[in-house]
Structure formats: structure tokens, C-alpha cells
């Protein structure tokens, strides 16, 4: 739980009053030995009893951003104590503390609240959290709550659930320490924590987690306890205790010892006395990230894991990652390395190094990328990969010169583990140079055209039967391109156009031409009507390329048009086109949508094949809200060629008298079964929910308990066909 330090109401006021001068309806300044002057008003009667001043009827004290209100006030001049009684309210920074009585020591800025109630917001919580205490002692730097309760229920005096503690120590802006905590639901104690520490820092998330209870075939019955803590110093973390019927007891801790902007450090340690294997499984990890200088940053991660091996021995795994990042106004450099090793039933070693550098100086920009990977199983190196790319661009007026050197590796060669034989392994450019001239800027013309010439040496290593072959050739290019632009046609709409023509000549004798075009035409036909036309074209002519993967061309030529009608509630569109490559028209697709406020929404879609001269499919969806708390949806798609439904889905949600019934299902007609679905019955108890859910696919039933204001706090236990289930893994992710 998190609370801003400046908003916490217990670090309140420091007042040293020399005298109290009150009169009916009068506001008078009170001299103070402290830095700020206090003002006290009263709507009632002022009297002097012995050495004490007494005021009744709407007493109000203000000093700075602190305000205290009560029905009665008594000031003990000799002891420098102020006693407030009757509906006492302390306000600071927008937070309120309600109490039956308040005793305030003006000299020490401390006091005692009787029967107090505090409400405040917690990071991530949907509703306020209420703290009630029989007695609260507070001073400048701390507060202690005796017989305290925490809840998010209303009214907080008689909540459905609460956390009960004998003592709560509060350190404003730092943490709350709660001792001997009981989780009480409907008067029954369900869980117990001996100690809980909750951070109040804005940059730190801390939460109280309920124990996780479940059952599965691997662990049997299990319980997982998580204890969050804050400290020592600026550190914080969580301790974990896992108890499993089959695998025994696991204990661990995840501790953050440094957490400030730009610099973090943490470690993890976990031990599982694995009863199934007879082995002590261990896991350790370390994470560091810190600045070396203003422009250089370093990071380090290390991990070590041991577990029982398949051959009865011990498997050990280790991983180390290190990185450096350097930033200047003109350059960015990142260097990283990761190494891993495994011993035991299998011996594996792998390492990967990466370098990424970019820079800019005046008209020159450049980039360098390096990637190396090596993997060894036993004594055999099965992968040894080096990939790189270096490129530079120089711009001067209408001229742009680009130079690239590259050796690209297939992703299968840069990852650990056995992989299927890839279709290619390497693609190389050694090098490629391209000069581009912006003719529009060169000749000061309004025609947006650019020309480019280039030359490069290329190679690809590709699979040929059961082996790989390397194919190499030089390629020269010459191109003219129509730069993307928009042409306004006035009342006839607008045209966005782009086109190009390129010639490629290879040293192996092949010559080919590539033409491309992408145009969009838009025309408004009135207030609600519009027309959109799209033409896409890309085709190669001449000889086939000697390469399969260096310069592939996806050929297409297609024109599509869509007529659309759109209002605030309804929409209608009709589209079709023609595929010139295949020499056939595209399907006519129609879409209709209508929304009747929040009560109903309908969407219909259908397609008609101009080639086969018959409908191809029909689809639709509907959402109805016939009454408050009711929502019904349905959707289906019917394949008219196969004459069967592809998918049918629907849902219904009903809210009635504190209950919510939800049902949803997706039926796959081809497979003849429900592909996904869920039925749930949830009882809303105001500040928490109890629900029963059923999954027809897994034949699983779930029983849930969840606190509405705290999404992370909940219990979920269930059973499927062959085992009990729980909403999370039995053992902590510390073992990962």
C-alpha cells in the first residue's frame, strides 16, 4: 500500500500558545512560539476555569495547512496541553482524521487520538482504505495505532471484512509496520500474519497478499505465503514460504537494496527441499543497473539454479548478462553480452554479444550493428554465427549517398537449441552504394520526382536439396520514383499518388525491370456519402533474378473501390474490385451497422462472388440491452460454399439484486464442439465479491473470493476433470 508522504495526516501541527482569547463569533490570532501563528474561532461560549481556558460550540483551530475542529476545547496553560472533545476532526492536505477526543501537546507537537478513523487512498486501489484505532499516539516522525482495523468496506465501523492488529506503527512517508495481523471475514478469522511491512513511498509498490491455496497432480495440496516488508534502510522486498504435500517446503526472499531514479539493485534467493527428488533445489539471482558517469550506464544480471537431473544426478544452470550504454548529443552506443552454461545430464554452453551504434554529425549519419552467437553441446560447437551491418548516409542539398555493408544471419542461427534446417542461412551485401537525386529540388520544379542509381555485390547461402549452396553476383540499379504527394482536384476530390520504375542488371547476365504504383482517390459525395478508390501495382519483367531471398518481388495488380454512407447512428458500405494478375473480379462485400443509443447495436456483413455468381458468406452481430442490468450479444458467420457455420458465439449478462449472471460461449461448427466458454454467478457484497465459475471446455469449476478495491487480493480454488486447480502456480516464481 502506498500513501504520499505529504498527504499523511499524523505529522500534524506544532503550536505553543501563550494565551487563548476567545469571544462569541470572534476570530483572534493566537501567539505561538512556533514558526506559524495559530488562529482559533468559536461559535459558542468562552469561560475561564481555574488555570484553564474552556470554549464550547464550534471550536476551530487553524495553523498553516492544518485545521482542527471540535465541539469543545480546554487549554491547560501550565502543562501546555489542548484537549478537544466531541466530533473531533483533524484536516491536513486534504486528508481527514475523525476522532471522539484529542489530546495535543503544544510543546512536543505530539498527541493522542481516541476512537479515531482515517481514510486515505492507496496506489492501485479502486476505493479508499479506512483505518480505525481505539487509540492513536502521534508525534512529528511517527504514529502508533492500538487495536487497529483496516478495511475498504462501508460503513467501516461494521465492515464485512477487515485486517485486525494489536499494534500498527506508522512512519509518515516511509512505511507502516503491522504486527499480529488477522484477516477476518464475516467475524471469522481466515488468515494470520505475524508481521507485515507496507511501504508509503510513492515510487514503491507494496501490497498485502492473501495466502494461495490449491491442489494439483504435481504438488498435491499446497499453500503459498508471501510476506512483504520495508527496510532495513531504503531496502524492501518480500519473503516467500511454500508448503507442498508432495514437494516439501520452499523458502525464499526477493530483496531490493537500492531503488532510486537511474540506479537499482536487487537479489533473489530460494531453496526448495524437494521431497519428490530428494534434492535441495536452489535459485540465486542478482540484478544491478547504475550510471558510471553522466553519459555511461552499466547493467548486470546473474543467475544460478540447481535441481535434480533426469539421470539421478544434479543439473546446474548459470547465466550472466552485462551491458553498457553510452549517450552523447550526436551518438548512441549499446553493448551487451549474455552467456549461459548447463552441467549435469547435458553440458551446454552458449554466448551472444551485440553492439548497436548510431550517430549523426552535420549532413552525415551512420549506424553499426554487430551480432555474434556461439553454442556448444558437449565438445561439439553446433553454432558459430557472426552477423553485422554497417551503413552511412550523406545528404547535401538534393543529393543523398547511401553506403551499406551487411551480413544477415537467419534467426535460427542466433538462438539456442536444435532448430529445423532453415531455407537460407546468410544474405550478404559487400557493399552496396546508392546515389539519390531529388529532381524537384535540383531543377526547382513542382514535379515530385527522384532518381537513383546503385551498385552492390550480393550473395545468399540457400538450401539446395540436402545441402547449402552460395550464390553470388553483382547488381546495378537505376530507378525513377514519383514521390508521395497529394493532388487536389477541387470538387472532384483528391488523389494521393506514388509510383516508381527500376532496372536491375546482374553480373550473371540477367536483366529485369520492376514497375510499382500505389494510388488512392477520395471523393465526398455529400454530407454522408463518400467514395474511396485504391490502385496497387507491382510487377517484374525480363529475366528471373539469380537470387531467391535477396531481392524478391511480390507481384500484384489490383483495384478496389468502396462506397460508404455514414451517420452518427448508421453506417453502410459496399466494396469490390478487380485482380488483374489472376484476371478475376474480387468479391462484392457489403456492410451495414446501426446503433440505437445504448439499447441496441447491429452489424451485418455479406459477400458475393462475381466469379461463381453466388454468395460466399454472411456474418452478423447484435448487442441488446432490453432493460437496466441486462446485456445480450450474439455473432455468427455462415459459409455458403460449405453450407455450414464457421463460428457461433454469444453472451448474456444479468445484474439483479446484488447478483450477476454471465454466460459466454464460442461454438466451432467445423470441430463440432465449444471452442471457448464460461458461465459465472457472482455475488456482489459491496466491498468484496464471491463467485462460482464454470469452464465447459476444461470442465473446470472455480470458487472465487476477491476484494473489490484491491484487484491483487483474492483467492481462487477450482477443480477440473483430473485435478484441482488454482489461479496461480503453486510455487513462487523465485524458482524461475
* pLDDT averaged over every residue in the chain: 83
Between the alpha carbon of residue 441 and those of residues 166, 317, 444, the distances in Å are: 80, 61, 5
Distance of alpha carbon 454 from alpha carbon 250, whole angstroms? 64
- Taking only the tens place, the pLDDT of each residue in 437-469 is 998 888 766 678 999 999 999 999 999 988 999
Distance of alpha carbon 472 from alpha carbon 462, whole angstroms? 11
Q: Assess contact for 46 and 174: CB atoms under 8 A.
A: no
Best mean pLDDT range from 54-63, 500-509, 722-731: 500-509
Distance of alpha carbon 689 from alpha carbon 703, whole angstroms? 11
* pTM, full prediction: 0.67
Whether 168 shows a pLDDT value over 80: the answer reads yes
pLDDT for residue 216:
60
Pairing label, strands 584-585, 570-579: antiparallel
Query: Does residue 413 or residue 122 have the better pLDDT?
Result: 413
Distance of alpha carbon 172 from alpha carbon 243, whole angstroms? 35
> Residue 627 contacts by C-beta under 8 Å, 6 or more apart in sequence?
none
- For 682, the grid coordinates are 457472482
CA 454 to chain centre: 44
Distance of alpha carbon 182 from alpha carbon 168, whole angstroms? 13
Residues pairing with 290 in the sheet: 298
> DSSP string covering 621-660, please?
EEEE--STTEEEEEEEEEETTTTEEEEEEEEEEEEETTEE
Whether 357 shows a pLDDT value over 60: the answer reads yes
pLDDT for residue 733:
39
Stretch 216-244: mean pLDDT, rounded?
A: 78
Stretch 8-34: mean pLDDT, rounded?
A: 31
pLDDT for residue 205:
55
Distance of alpha carbon 79 from alpha carbon 435, whole angstroms? 90
* Residues constituting the chain: 736
- For 625, the grid coordinates are 440491452
As separate numbers, helices (DSSP H) first and strands (DSSP E) second, the chain gives: 1, 46
- For 668, the grid coordinates are 466451432
Distance of alpha carbon 616 from alpha carbon 646, whole angstroms? 12
Between the alpha carbon of residue 716 and those of residues 189, 659, 705, 728, the distances in Å are: 18, 19, 6, 9
The closest of 335, 449, 324, 456 to 398, measured between CA atoms, is 449
The closest of 303, 182, 218 to 254, measured between CA atoms, is 303
Query: Does residue 311 or residue 712 have the better pLDDT?
Result: 311
What single DSSP character describes residue 201? -
Stretch 223-245: mean pLDDT, rounded?
A: 81
How much is the CA Rg of the chain, to the nearest whole Å?
37
Distance of alpha carbon 440 from alpha carbon 390, whole angstroms? 30
Distance of alpha carbon 269 from alpha carbon 306, whole angstroms? 12
pLDDT for residue 461:
96
- Taking only the tens place, the pLDDT of each residue in 554-605 is 999 999 999 999 999 999 999 999 999 999 999 999 999 999 988 999 999 9
For residue 730, name the pLDDT band (cuts at 50, 70, 90). very low
Whether 719 shows a pLDDT value over 60: the answer reads no
Stretch 8-32: mean pLDDT, rounded?
A: 30
Best mean pLDDT range from 131-145, 556-570, 715-729: 556-570
> Residue 155 contacts by C-beta under 8 Å, 6 or more apart in sequence?
none
pLDDT for residue 686:
81
Q: How many CB atoms lie within 10 A of CB 27?
A: 12
Q: Assess contact for 32 and 38: CB atoms under 8 A.
A: yes
> Residue 123 contacts by C-beta under 8 Å, 6 or more apart in sequence?
1, 2, 3, 202, 205
For residue 107, name the pLDDT band (cuts at 50, 70, 90). confident
Distance of alpha carbon 213 from alpha carbon 689, whole angstroms? 18
Amino acid at each position: 500500500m502506498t500513501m504520499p508522504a505529504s498527504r499523511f495526516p499524523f505529522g500534524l501541527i506544532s503550536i505553543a500558545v501563550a494565551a487563548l482569547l476567545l469571544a462569541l463569533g470572534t476570530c483572534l490570532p493566537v501567539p505561538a512560539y512556533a514558526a506559524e501563528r495559530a488562529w482559533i474561532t468559536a461559535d459558542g461560549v468562552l469561560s475561564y476555569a481555574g488555570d484553564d481556558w474552556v470554549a464550547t460550540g464550534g471550536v476551530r483551530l487553524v495553523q498553516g495547512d492544518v485545521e482542527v475542529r471540535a465541539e469543545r476545547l480546554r487549554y491547560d496553560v501550565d502543562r501546555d496541553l489542548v484537549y478537544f472533545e466531541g466530533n473531533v476532526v483533524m484536516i491536513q492536505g486534504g486528508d481527514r482524521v475523525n476522532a471522539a477526543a484529542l489530546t495535543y501537546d503544544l510543546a512536543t507537537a505530539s498527541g493522542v487520538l481516541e476512537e479515531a478513523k482515517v481514510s486515505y487512498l492507496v496506489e492501485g486501489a479502486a476505493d479508499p482504505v479506512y483505518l480505525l484505532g481505539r487509540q492513536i499516539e502521534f508525534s512529528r516522525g511517527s504514529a502508533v495505532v492500538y487495536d487497529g482495523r483496516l478495511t475498504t468496506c462501508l460503513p467501516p465501523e461494521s465492515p464485512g471484512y477487515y485486517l485486525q492488529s494489536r499494534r500498527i506503527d506508522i512512519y509518515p512517508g516511509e512505511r507502516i509496520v503491522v504486527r499480529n495481523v488477522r484477516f477476518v471475514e464475516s467475524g471469522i478469522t481466515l488468515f494470520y500474519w505475524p508481521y507485515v511491512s507496507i511501504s508509503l513511498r510513492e515510487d514503491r509498490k507494496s501490497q498485502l497478499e492473501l495466502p494461495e491455496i490449491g491442489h494439483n497432480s504435481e504438488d498435491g495440496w499446497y499453500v503459498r505465503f508471501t510476506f512483504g516488508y520495508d527496510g532495513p534502510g531504503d531496502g524492501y522486498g518480500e519473503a516467500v514460504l511454500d508448503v507442498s504435500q508432495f514437494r516439501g517446503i520452499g523458502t525464499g526472499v526477493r530483496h531490493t537494496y537500492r531503488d532510486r531514479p537511474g540506479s537499482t539493485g536487487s537479489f533473489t534467493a530460494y531453496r526448495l527441499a524437494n521431497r519428490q527428488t530428494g534434492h535441495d533445489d536452489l535459485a540465486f539471482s542478482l540484478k544491478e543497473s547504475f550510471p558510471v558517469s553522466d553519459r555511461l550506464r552499466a547493467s548486470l544480471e546473474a543467475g544460478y539454479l540447481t535441481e535434480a537431473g533426469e539421470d539421478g544426478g544434479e543439473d546446474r544452470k548459470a547465466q550472466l548478462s552485462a551491458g553498457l550504454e553510452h549517450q552523447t548529443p550526436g551518438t548512441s552506443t549499446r553493448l551487451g553480452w549474455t552467456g549461459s552454461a548447463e552441467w549435469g545430464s547435458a553440458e551446454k554452453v552458449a554466448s551472444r554479444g551485440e553492439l548497436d551504434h548510431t550517430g549523426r554529425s552535420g549532413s552525415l549519419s551512420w549506424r553499426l550493428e554487430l551480432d555474434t552467437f556461439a553454442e556448444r553441446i558437449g565438445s561439439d560447437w553446433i553454432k558459430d554465427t557472426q552477423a553485422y551491418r554497417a551503413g552511412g548516409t550523406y545528404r547535401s542539398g538534393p543529393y543523398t549517398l547511401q553506403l551499406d555493408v551487411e551480413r544477415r544471419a537467419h534467426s535460427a542461427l542466433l538462438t539456442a537449441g536444435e532448430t529445423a534446417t532453415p531455407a537460407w542461412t546468410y544474405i550478404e551485401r559487400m557493399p552496396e552504394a546508392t546515389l539519390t537525386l531529388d529532381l524537384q529540388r535540383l531543377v526547382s520544379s513542382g514535379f515530385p520526382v527522384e532518381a537513383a542509381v546503385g551498385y552492390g555485390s550480393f550473395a545468399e547461402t540457400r538450401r539446395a536439396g540436402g545441402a547449402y549452396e552460395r550464390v553470388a553476383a553483382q547488381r546495378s540499379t537505376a530507378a525513377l520514383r514519383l514521390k508521395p504527394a497529394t493532388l487536389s482536384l477541387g470538387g472532384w476530390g483528391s488523389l494521393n499518388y506514388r509510383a516508381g520504375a527500376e532496372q536491375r542488371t546482374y553480373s550473371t547476365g540477367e536483366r529485369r525491370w520492376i514497375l510499382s504504383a500505389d494510388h488512392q482517390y477520395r471523393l465526398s459525395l455529400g454530407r454522408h456519402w463518400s467514395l474511396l478508390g485504391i490502385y496497387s501495382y507491382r510487377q517484374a519483367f525480363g529475366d528471373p533474378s539469380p537470387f531467391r531471398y535477396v531481392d524478391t518481388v511480390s507481384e500484384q495488380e489490383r483495384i478496389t473501390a468502396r462506397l460508404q454512407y455514414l451517420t452518427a447512428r448508421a453506417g453502410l458500405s459496399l466494396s469490390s474490385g478487380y485482380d488483374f494478375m489472376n484476371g478475376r473480379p474480387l468479391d462484392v462485400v457489403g456492410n451495414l451497422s446501426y446503433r440505437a443509443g445504448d439499447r441496441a447495436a447491429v452489424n451485418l456483413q455479406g459477400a458475393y462472388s462475381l466469379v461463381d455468381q453466388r454468395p460466399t458468406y454472411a456474418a452478423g452481430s447484435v448487442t441488446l440491452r432490453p432493460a437496466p442490468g441486462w446485456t445480450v450479444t450474439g455473432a455468427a458467420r455462415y459459409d455458403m460454399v460449405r453450407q455450414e457455420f464457421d463460428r457461433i458465439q454469444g453472451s448474456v449478462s444479468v445484474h439483479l439484486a446484488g447478483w450477476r449472471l454471465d454466460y459466454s460461449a464460442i461454438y466451432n461448427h467445423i470441430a463440432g464442439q465449444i471452442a471457448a466458454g464460461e458461465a459465472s454467478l457472482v455475488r456482489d457484497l459491496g466491498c468484496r465479491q464471491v463467485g462460482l465459475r464454470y469452464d465447459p471446455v476444461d470442465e473446470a469449476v472455480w470458487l472465487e473470493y476477491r476484494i473489490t478495491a484491491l484487484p491483487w487480493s483474492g483467492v481462487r480454488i477450482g477443480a477440473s476433470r483430473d485435478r484441482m486447480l488454482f489461479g496461480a502456480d503453486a510455487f513462487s516464481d523465485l524458482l524461475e
